[in-house]
A and B are shown apart, each in its own frame.
Chain A
């Protein structure tokens, strides 16, 4: 069935450093890959997404890269700040599941001041 693996499960960085979270997916027909940020006690919020017709997308300090051949995509956060501390989820759409999203297991990012 559909599967999205996310690594690492926890990540601790110093303020100002970069953070990278990686996800792999199983369905080669997947073509939509959103990333969500979840702060404590709140629902996940979409921060960036990418479709399979592009390899990279940037939005200020956040970027996502996609390698369709290898079936993996990554979230890059540069110049991390304490307010970036949260749980991040990747997701992938699965064509045979009506393009529903399957989520990775999440990464808890801690940015130390």
Chain B
């Protein structure tokens, strides 16, 4: 989706290092989400934010942190406390209307060795 930019596409880190994944949107959507996807698996919700300066934990928030200082940006930090950080990370946005679809970025593949 051209309106959601995730960078970089591939990221490599050594174990024990924190790493921040970027998600920027120009869709003027209120809500933003971070999902984790493991090979052959579905989408698991890490964190979400429905408004600037507010965010909520999802199903698998342990070892991750986020911030929402601007409407356009929702960076995700994978900390050294995350035991299995290697995965495909997807950012999504949603406008403020009830029952509207999520729009996804093209993801960042993080490999930690």
Contacts and interface: CB of A to CB of B under 8 A. Distances in A.
B27 interface: no
A42 B106 contact: yes
B2 to A, nearest CB: 12
B98 interface: yes
B104 A43 contact: yes
Interface residues of A, number: 24
Contacts, number: 47
Interface string A58-82: 0000000000000000000000000
A105 B42 CA distance: 5
A101 B102 contact: yes
A20 interface: no
A43 B41 contact: no
What range describes how many residues of B lie at the interface? 20 to 34
Given A43-B105, A44-B90, A105 B99 contact: no
Contacts of B42: 89, 103-106
Interface string A85-113: 00001010100001111011110100000
Contacts of B102: 34, 44, 46, 91, 101
B4 to A, nearest CB: 8
B60 to A, nearest CB: 13
B103 interface: yes
17 contacts: A31-B99, A41-B106, A42-B107, A43-B92, A43-B105, A43-B106, A44-B43, A44-B102, A46-B101, A46-B102, A46-B103, A89-B43, A91-B102, A93-B99, A101-B102, A105-B41, A105-B42
Interface of A: 31-32, 34, 36, 41-46, 49, 51, 89, 91, 93, 98-101, 103-106, 108
